[in-house]
Structure 1
């Protein structure tokens, strides 16, 4: 199975279609699709990335601007003594000057500005992926905790169902009063666990609410299922796809920008030419004349060596930063992939042996308890084993989908996650 096909299948699972997309701003039930859409619309990080594009676009426009001409006025031979008293012998010159950039300096400056704009545009794609991935993970966490509470509710109900039978056994002298307390204690412990999970769910709901733009949760629950899972592609396919991640792609633009900056630093010592043309008026004779001049700086003392060295180091640093960034992404992807694979193996064991055997044992022991063949402790142990197996399944399912969402945020092409409405 190719990486693309496998990831499409996995992402179709993580979208957790639990009903039509919520069209209202504050739906009673929140779906994955609606959460992704609202996260994209509300993310301040995405807004900041868009402003960075605007900043880079302004810098790109400015990089292509031509140098402004200069106008000057000079007056000689005036306000002196003798023949030069007052302005009778004055010579007035009105002049306009223009510097002409040579050696491709303007082109290098434009290339640096364009590369900066490209980098900002790609960075926005990276931020968008992160927002989608974080929102998907937050959604899965809420959905998983909701399911965990359901399992604990079922365990409390199972304990409560044996209470009437236990009472009849106590009245008949078949069980001691202490067993009633044991059942009540078992129920209380499960309820205590449920309260702890409810606290975690409240935090997870708040985190999801903030991601979709609400200061507090305005949805009653999230809709979806964690049941379905799929076989992932090989890890090498994931690593190969990471090279398309915007975080890595943007380094190409940054490298181009640093290269243009190095070229600009090397070109700076090459002199530019300033051409001037003016009109001179001789008051004493009433004559006038045109004045031409050219000026070229002599790069004797400043060869821009320091800036050239700095630009060279910055270019070399860019290559090292990309390698470090890629290594970090591979480590994160590796952790998520290992978690995904471990969750699949755990689910296989639980679904093939753990849950079926625990369910059958709990049913048989509960039925035998009514016939006096098993003790209350055996019933409670069987129910607890079944509940723990289901809780382990829920945890493995949640870990699987969190890992998928994490990998989706790293592979550059988010497939299903990208189907959320663009801003």
Structure 2
């Protein structure tokens, strides 16, 4: 009795912890709670700090000069009337500070694009997991419906087999169908569990999530078609895909780095003022000081050459990224088109007929109008068909989302 109560409490607790959510609610939780996205935002803040740092001038240097040991009378710290004080400031020439700031700003733009790409990738993962769970749950509903009928049938057959009215092989045949359905159910539940774990991580929701969509929303997702042609999709993808834009911006970033490194070859000037009490030509004289390195060679030439190489590398990476993105868009579009055509190649009347015939087979089998072999053969075919239809629906929606993820701008009506 205590075990029964405990099980009941566990089941009720699990049911209570379930949370039905729409896709919009899942996305809101994702933006608010996703730790990976939050961590990526710190890179943008760090890039802002680099811009601030690049604008800061070097600190002026102050120096004081006085006697520490007088060898004539062997005294220490004989400050006397001979002291000097100097203040110097380094002045950067050749646009070094400006170029460093521009390079830091370019790095921030790269960080923003990295954030945008991560946002699109994670949001796409969320939607794919959401859709996968939804359609897999529909598969479970179909399986549970068939299991309910077959389980009752097996119970009845066991009674008749015990009485000797039905052969044991018929009972075993039905039990095999039940076992097959339970195996299908287990595989689908494992798939749902995997996607749920991903959804929990993405949204930060700890309760069991049950994706919820209306039938109108589902039909709209399935029927959606791109508003433009494949060539236009490629063009828009090149304009909006953050991963590709990152490689384009990398070229500008490399050029900014090259410009900064080249400016570092320009000698800088150190200027300042010096007060001298008695050790100069005049008493309490004030002098100005200027210092500049002698540019006998380009001390930053190696880094300049490296920057030139990075520009060429960025250009090649961009060419490759463009080619890869266009190929991915083509493949994703074709994948969506194949799934779309496959689903809408199925006539709705055929689906209605399939369900009607299945219901008629159940009724006629109860009445003994058809044989066990005919019933089990048809039931197996029916099971495979309805599961395939739900899988096709899922693939239509997911393939559309994969195309969305590449284009990264609304393309469906």
Report the TM-score, using the length of structure 2 for normalisation: 0.82
Match of 1:378 among 374, 379, 384: 374
The separation in 2 between residues aligned to 1:44 and 1:85, in whole angstroms, is 63
User: Measured at CA, do residues 379 and 277 of structure 1 come closer, stay the same or move farther in structure 2, by a change above 3 Å?
Assistant: same
Q: State the shift of 1:306 in Å.
A: 0.6
**111-120 vs 285-294, greater mean Cα deviation:** 285-294
**Number of aligned residues:** 388
Match of 2:392 among 371, 389, 396: 396
In structure 2, the partner of 1:339 is 335
Match of 2:190 among 173, 176, 199: 199
Q: String of CA shifts for 1:211-236, please: whole Å, max 9, x gaps.
A: 2114xx51352212544412533332
Q: State the shift of 1:393 in Å.
A: 0.9
Query: What secondary structure, in the 3-state scheme, does the structure 1 residue paired with 2:346 have?
Result: helix
The separation in 2 between residues aligned to 1:271 and 1:184, in whole angstroms, is 89
In structure 1, the partner of 2:234 is 239
The separation in 1 between residues aligned to 2:89 and 2:38, in whole angstroms, is 41
**2:317 aligned with 1:321, yes or no?**
yes
Match of 2:124 among 125, 133, 136: 133
In structure 1, the partner of 2:257 is 261
The separation in 2 between residues aligned to 1:349 and 1:117, in whole angstroms, is 49
Query: What secondary structure, in the 3-state scheme, does the structure 2 residue paired with 1:293 have?
Result: strand
Q: Which structure carries more helix by proportion?
A: 2
Q: State the shift of 1:398 in Å.
A: 1.0
Q: State the shift of 1:181 in Å.
A: 2.8
Q: String of CA shifts for 1:364-414, please: whole Å, max 9, x gaps.
A: 544554565531111122122222111111111111221222222222325
Query: What secondary structure, in the 3-state scheme, does the structure 1 residue paired with 2:223 have?
Result: coil
In structure 1, the partner of 2:245 is 249
The separation in 1 between residues aligned to 2:151 and 2:347, in whole angstroms, is 26
Query: What secondary structure, in the 3-state scheme, does the structure 1 residue paired with 2:306 have?
Result: helix
The separation in 1 between residues aligned to 2:63 and 2:312, in whole angstroms, is 45
Q: State the shift of 1:285 in Å.
A: 10
User: Measured at CA, do residues 206 and 85 of structure 1 come closer, stay the same or move farther in structure 2, by a change above 3 Å?
Assistant: closer
In structure 2, the partner of 1:22 is none
In structure 2, the partner of 1:145 is 136
In structure 1, the partner of 2:275 is 279
Q: String of CA shifts for 1:334-360, please: whole Å, max 9, x gaps.
A: 443333222212212334475345334
Q: String of CA shifts for 1:4-46, please: whole Å, max 9, x gaps.
A: xxxxxxxxxxxxxxxxxxxxxx762122111111112121221
Query: What secondary structure, in the 3-state scheme, does the structure 1 residue paired with 2:345 have?
Result: helix
Q: State the shift of 1:299 in Å.
A: 1.9
User: Measured at CA, do residues 88 and 263 of structure 1 come closer, stay the same or move farther in structure 2, by a change above 3 Å?
Assistant: closer
Q: State the shift of 1:323 in Å.
A: 3.0
Matches within 5 A, 1:285-296: 287-296=283-292
Q: String of CA shifts for 1:145-178, please: whole Å, max 9, x gaps.
A: 2111111112223435666997899899996453
**2:350 aligned with 1:359, yes or no?**
no
Whether the aligned pair in 2 keeps the contact of 1:333 and 1:406 (CA below 8 Å) is no
Match of 2:293 among 294, 297, 321: 297
Whether the aligned pair in 2 keeps the contact of 1:42 and 1:212 (CA below 8 Å) is yes
The separation in 2 between residues aligned to 1:49 and 1:37, in whole angstroms, is 18
The separation in 2 between residues aligned to 1:351 and 1:163, in whole angstroms, is 34
The separation in 1 between residues aligned to 2:152 and 2:287, in whole angstroms, is 109
Q: String of CA shifts for 1:289-324, please: whole Å, max 9, x gaps.
A: 111221111121443211001111112222222333
Residue segments in structure 2 that go unaligned for 5+ positions in a row: 1-16
Residue segments in structure 1 that go unaligned for 5+ positions in a row: 1-25, 417-423
Q: Aligned-pair RMSD on alpha carbons?
A: 3.3
In structure 2, the partner of 1:7 is none
The separation in 1 between residues aligned to 2:79 and 2:56, in whole angstroms, is 43
Query: What secondary structure, in the 3-state scheme, does the structure 2 residue paired with 1:282 have?
Result: coil
Query: What secondary structure, in the 3-state scheme, does the structure 1 residue paired with 2:406 have?
Result: coil
Query: What secondary structure, in the 3-state scheme, does the structure 1 residue paired with 2:139 have?
Result: helix
Query: What secondary structure, in the 3-state scheme, does the structure 1 residue paired with 2:83 have?
Result: strand
The separation in 2 between residues aligned to 1:40 and 1:351, in whole angstroms, is 40
**367-376 vs 308-317, greater mean Cα deviation:** 367-376
The separation in 2 between residues aligned to 1:170 and 1:284, in whole angstroms, is 123
Tell which has more relative contact order, 1 or 2 (C-alpha 8 A, sep 6+): 1
